Structure 1
Amino acid sequence: MERFIHNENIRRYRKLLEEEPSEEKRNVIRKLLAEEEAKEIASSPRGRDKSKHP
């Protein structure tokens, strides 16, 4: 369930970026998207244990 929510958040932020005309709001959305994508990297097997995967 957590993965589904994570993927939906990414999908939603990307859609909002396409539709939002305000650069200020787009910057906030970009930040949220980057944070959500960072969670994706951290939750991947390579992101969780970097000592085993150079």
Structure 2
Amino acid sequence: MGDQSPKAKRAWKICNILDEHNAKMQQLQAEGNEGKRRVKNSVRKKVKLGPRGFYYDI
């Protein structure tokens, strides 16, 4: 993995985030909460600090 280009590393990072998100959605469906569209802030990842505080990534 040390010889990957920055673009390939970013693609892997995005894939990993999507995998985590899909796993969370499956967990919510298993709990019967698939109707709830919003995710608690504690579950979200803080990505970067913006002018109004943290922007969250699911």
Alignment TM-score, normalising by the size of structure 2: 0.42
- Identify, as 1 or 2, the structure richer in helix: 1
Alignment TM-score, normalising by the size of structure 1: 0.44
Higher relative contact order (CA 8 A, sep 6+): 1
